[in-house]
Structure 1
Amino acid sequence: MKRSNIIKKIYSKQLIQLLKGFFDYNIMAHFRPLPPRHILMPITYRCNARCVMCNIWKMPIKAELTIGQIDQILADDIFRSVETLTITGGEPILRDDLVELVALFIGKLTRLNQLTITTNGLLPDKTIQFIQKIAQTCLKNNIHLSVSVSVDGVGEVHDRIRGIPGAFEKIEKAISQLKELQKEYGFYLGGGCVVQPSSLHNLSDLEQWHKKNDFDGSFQLLGFHETYVANLEKKDEISFTEKDKKALLTFIEKRAKDRSLFNFQSYYWHDMLQMYKHGKPRKTVCPMMMDAFVLDAYGDVYWCLSEPEAKIGNCLSGPSCSDIYYSPDNLKVRKYIRENKCPNCNSGCLTRFGIRSEIFGYLWYLLLRQ
C-alpha cells in the first residue's frame, strides 16, 4: 500500500472520529468527565541515545512494571473505553518483552483500534524483529499500527543531536527494512524531529531527505519540562536565541500554510505561529486535558508529562486507575492545568485528536486558506 494511501486512510478515519467526538467534547464534557480514549505509555525510561535536548538517559534505573503487574492494572474497567495507545520511552525496543506487552494490550483494550510505537532506531535488527511480530499481531486483530522513528537531521547533524556516532546510518538501515515490512503489513511509517537550535538551520536538508526517501516526517518544537525529559537545567544552554527567531518563524509559518482537509496539524502550527510571533496563548485543545492520561513504566499516572503537578497517583501501590482518573481532587488539578498551563504549552502531542472539539473553527480555518 502506498504511503499516501495509508496516510489518507488514517486521516479519513480520524475525520470520522472528529465528527463523533464533537458532541462529547463540546456538550457531554460540561456535564461529566469523559472516559479516556487515549493512553500515552512510556513503558521504560531506559534509553540508548544521549540526546542534547533530553535527560531521560540520566535517570536512575528503577524496577519497571512486569507483564503480570500490567495485566493486573488493565483489569480495571476504565481501560474498556481506550481507542488509541501510544507506546514510548525512553526507548521501547529496550523492553525485551515488548512483543508480549503489545499482545497483552491488544487482548485487554477491547476497543483499541490504533497503536503507535516510537523508536530511535538505534537497534535496527532488534527493531525489525520486534516490529514484524507486532505488525502480525496488529493485522490479525484489525489494529492500525503506526511506527515513528526519530530523525532529527541528515548525517552528522542527527549523530550530534542524538549523541551517538553512526546513529544516522543505523536509522537509515532501520527505516529501509521497515519499509519492506510496510509493504507486507500496511502499517504507517513516519518519523519525528525535535525542532531546536541544533536542528533548526538544517531542517531544509531534512525535508529534502524526507522527500527523496518518500518518508513522512513530522516536527515538534523544543519544550522544557521538569518531569519526563527533565531538561530544565539545559534551558539556558539550548533555548532558541534572538538570532534563531527569523528562521524559526519562517519554519512555523511554512507548516501553518500547508492546509488541507486531511492535514489537521496545520491548525496546530497556525496556533504556534500566533504564540511565537505574537505572544498569543495557545488555543488548540489537548486531549490530555479531555479524555486521556499517561500510565508510565512505574505505574505512575499523569494528566500529562509536561507539568510536575500533573502526576496524580500510582495505580500499582495506591488506588485503581479509575479512582485516580475520576477523583474530584484530581479533576480539579486537570482543570487548573488546562486553564493556567496549557495556554503556554507548545506540545503537539495528540493534537490530531483534540481538533474534534474545534471542528467549526477548523473548517473556517480551511475556508480562509490562501
Structure 2
Amino acid sequence: MKALFIPGNSPATIYTHTALATAVRNAGHSVFMAGIQWLLPDIAGVGLSPVQISPLSEKDVIAFMAGMPQDPEGAARAAGRVYAEIAVESRRPLLEMAAHWRPDVVVGGPMFYGAALLAHHLSIPSALLEWDRGDASIYEPGAMEVLRPVLDDLGLDRLPEPDLRIDICPPSLRPAGAPEAAPMRFVPTNPQRPLEPWMYARGERPRVCITGGSRVFSGEALHRLAKGVAGLGVEVVIAAPEAVAAELRAALPEVRAGWIPLDVLAPTCDVIVHHGGGATDMTALACGVPQLIAIQDVSVVEMRRLAEAGAAILLGPGEQESEHLVAACGELLGEPRYRERARELAREIAALPPPAEVVGLLTNLATG
C-alpha cells in the first residue's frame, strides 16, 4: 500500500500525524508526507519522506499570522481562505507526483482540503485524521469562498466526505453530535535534540512549563511572567526559540529556556502554560498535566470545554496580564483536583487503540 499523508500547514499538524504515518510505514507500507516548503525539514526530521506542494515559507506564514484579524470569527475566516488557497495551489504538484507515485489512500488533516480534492480526482479512498480537538467547520465559510469555483468545475456541491474519520479526542471531551469516527490514541511527537537529565527527571520543586512563542508571550511580558511564576517557589522551564531563550537565560539565570522536546518534558511538569495550541493541549492531556490557557483564539470553544471538565483554567481577554497568569498558575498548583482530573483524561487517551491498530483500517480502505 502507498499512503500519502497531507496533515496541514503548520509543524504541529506534522507532529500529530507522525505516529500513524510511522505505524503505516513500520507495517511495511510506503509512506510520503506532503506539505508547504516551510514544513519539509519538520517532515524529514521525524523520519518521513517529504513532498513539497507549495513554495510557502516560514516568512510567508509569519506575515500572514501578523495580519490576521483579532476576533476568533474573523481569524477563522481568514485562515480558511488561506488553507483553501493552498489546497487549490497544491492540486497540480500533487497530480504530478501521483503520475509517478500513485497513492492507494490519502490521509488528510481537517483543514487541508487538498486531500479530499486529490482523492476525488484519483478515485481513491481518503481518511481524515484529526490533529487536535478543534472543530474545523469554523474555517469552512472562508474556505468555501475560494473552493466554490473549483467544486463547481468538478460538478460537486460540497467537498467529498472522507471514507474514514479518525479521532484522537478523549471520549468524555467529544462534543455532542460529533461525526462518527474511529478512535485512536494520541502519541506525542516532537523534533528531538540531545537530552540533558533535567529534561526528563523531576526535581525537588514543582515544574511549570511556559510555551507559546511570540503569539502570546514575548519580550518584557514573558520576562515578567517567568519571574512571577518563579516567585511561587517552582522551577520554570520556557520552551522557546533560541533567540528568545538566550535573552531570558541572561536576564533570569534561574529559569531554564530553550528548544525542549515537549513530549519529553511534559511528563515531568505540574502545569503547562500555553496559548491554546492544539498539539500542546493534546500533549498535556496525554501526559495528565493541568493546563493554564492564556489566550482566546479560534480554539476557545475546545479550551473552554477542557476548563469546564476541571483539567484547566482558561483566562479571558481581560485576564492576560502576568499577575492574572501567576495567580491562576498558583491555583492549579495548589488544588489537587486539577491534577486528578487531568490524569483521568490521560487514562482515557491511554485506553484508546494505538496507531498500529488503526493501520488495518487504512489497508482495508486501500484494498476495497
Query: Fold-level match, TM-score > 0.5?
Result: no
Normalising by the smaller structure, the TM-score range is under 0.3
Which structure carries more relative contact order (alpha carbon 8 Å, separation 6+)? 1
TM-score for the superposition, normalised by structure 2? 0.27
TM-score for the superposition, normalised by structure 1? 0.27
